[in-house]
Amino acid sequence: MNLTSPITEVTLTPRQEAIRALFDKLAPERGKWIARNRYFHESDYDYMRFLIPAGARVLEIGSGDGQLLAALKPSRGVGIDFSAEMVRIAREKHPDYEFHVANAEDAGAVQRLGGPFDYIVISDTIGLIEDCEALLELLHRCAGTGTRIVIAYYSHLWDPLLRIAEVFGQKMPQAPQNNLPTADIANLLVLADYEIVRREWRQLVPRRLLGLGPLINRFIATLPGIRRFCLRNYVVARPLPQRGKVAGTLPSVSVIVPCRNERGNIESAVTRMPAFAPDIEIVFVEGHSKDNTYEECLRVQAAYPGRDIKVMRQDGKGKGDAVRKGFAAARGDVLMILDADLTVPPESLGKFYDALALGRGEFVNGTRLVYPMEATAMRFLNNIANHAFAILFSYLLNQRFTDTLCGTKVLWKRDYERIVANRSYFGDFDPFGDFDLIFGAVKLNLKIVEVPIRYAGRTYGETQISRFTHGWLLLRMVIFAWRKLKAF
């Protein structure tokens, strides 16, 4: 919804009046200040573009001269600011987007903005807000269930250096700021009924310094213990869903079962799967087996006409290829992966379904490393490696993972389609299929939750995991994740 007329009415407190007077005065020079600190702003815009894909519907609170909003390339971009001069310049520079003179803390003005927006951006403006909790509560009026709030701010550890830079004319003058570390921003979001999805710290050196700054920011600034000293910090949150309530009708499910040399497990995958949803589709994707698994899938399909069973044979190789083929053919609202070795019990799938359908998460990952497992379920070295990789990937992804390699993963089909649409950022890199989904979910700022399962030993066949070959591939995944998610 585009407004037929711009918002112009503005009621301000004395503090806000002083802030407006300052920014009206600074507005004609803001472009020069940005150019003087080009590296800082380019790096900030790069990360904001990582968080917010082009083509989204974006509302920016405190949009200034509109440079950040324009850099995000939204399909609909709306900016509000109570500096009339800033808004005038924004409209001249970026006529494709909407800019309004308005107070974001005015309920009437916010109500007129329409929505829902895919992203609501508060870049630095959080430091000038009179009542941050009240503003965040107000923004629910512009948000839907899939909206993400993105707050960018600076670390107050840098206050002495920033004051010196301001004195020497290296930084644009600024009004007195709210003292809000990321933990306090996160707390305000929780108080206003949002759930934290991601936190990040960037730019330990906000200058190029003959190329030294980018090197430090890429190789040192992202390290644990050091990144908290970075100048720039980011918090991403989503509106908190209503617990215990399912919106609308219960969603349908497609359970994808990649299977290679798993003939003895096919029938059990069907008979042991409970009716945890009103409409369940089972899709077997067979991978050129040598034990007649494909023929067994066809036999089971015919033997259970009351179950919606589809049988496919993958064209390529590997679990990742099988998952993609199954997901592409699936008709369900919810997509699930169940490994055909049945070491994740089919009986546990209802827990994954509930976590997604009740809004507790938007990407549900199984974890085998919470409950004691059967002695034959996982070899000792594999267990150690899984714990180590979980720690590494939790750091790289900025979300807690205890088990990245559990085969059972569950997400909405609509979110999988968004992952596919954004897959070019990572490329076709993952033979397992697990990391394509995990990285894609993190890139989209989906809320990730884990469901503990009791990991069982195989009753048929042999593991198809090679400790050393696949271990080397996982190390390559770590490096790949660092390059794509941290070092840019």
Both tokens of residue 282?
């089972």
- Report the distance separating Cα 271 and Cα 252, nearest Å: 19
Which residues, other chains included, contact 260 with Cβ-Cβ below 8 Å and sequence gap of 6+?
A: 286, 287, 288, 289, 293, 322, 340, 464
Percentage above 90 pLDDT, the chain: 67
Average pLDDT value for residue range 299-313: 97
How many CB atoms neighbour CB 141 within 10 A? 14
What is the structure's pLDDT at 268? 96
170: pLDDT strictly greater than 80: yes
- Would you say residue 455 has pLDDT above 70? yes
Which range has the worst mean pLDDT, 64-78, 331-345, 357-371, 407-421?
357-371
Q: What is the pLDDT of residue 245?
A: 44
Separation of CA 225 from chain center: 23
| Pair 72, 56: CB distance under 8 Å | yes
Output the six-digit token pair for 2: 């585009």
Which of 386, 337, 390, 340 has its CA nearest to residue 363?
Answer: 337
Model confidence band, residue 406 (pLDDT cutoffs 50, 70, 90): confident
Q: pLDDT exceeding 70 applies to what percent of the chain?
A: 91
Which positions ≥6 away from 442 have C-beta within 8 Å?
A: 198, 397, 398, 399, 448, 485
Tell me if 451 sits within 8 A of 366, measured CB to CB. yes
Which residues have CB under 8 Å from 184's CB, separation 6+?
A: none
- Contacting residues for 316 by C-beta, under 8 A, at least 6 apart: none
Is 111 within 8 Å of 93 (Cβ atoms)? Answer: no
**How much is the pLDDT for 249?**
76
Which tens digit of pLDDT belongs to each residue from 348-390?
999 999 999 988 999 999 988 777 766 655 666 666 767 777 7
Enumerate domains of the chain plus CATH numbers: 14-239 (3.40.50.150), 253-485 (3.90.550.10)
38 burial via Cβ count (<10 Å: 0-12, 13-18, 19+): exposed
More confident residue, 407 or 349: 349
Reported as half-sphere exposure (CB side, CA atoms, 13 A), residue 235 has a value of: 23
Of the chain, the end-to-end C-alpha distance in Å amounts to: 35
> How sure is the predictor about 327, in pLDDT bands with cuts at 50, 70 and 90?
very high
- Binned at pLDDT 50, 70 and 90, residue 466 comes out as low
Q: Chain-wide mean pLDDT for the chain? A: 89
Lookup: tokens for 28: 């004609």
What is the Cα–Cα distance from 363 to 143, expressed in whole angstroms? 20
Give the model's confidence band at 157: pLDDT under 50 very low, under 70 low, under 90 confident, else very high. very high
Minimum mean pLDDT among 125-139, 247-261, 458-472: which range?
458-472
pLDDT band at residue 244 using 50, 70 and 90 as cut-offs: very low
**pLDDT higher than 80, residue 469:** no
- The CA-based dihedral angle spanning residues 420, 424, 428, 429, taken in that order and rounded to the nearest 10 degrees: -110
CA pair distance 322, 109, nearest whole angstrom: 50
| Mean pLDDT computed over 13-35 | 92
What pLDDT, on the 0 to 100 scale, is given for residue 278?
A: 94
More confident: 470 or 334 = 334
The dihedrals phi and psi of 235, each to the nearest 5 degrees, come to: -130, 130
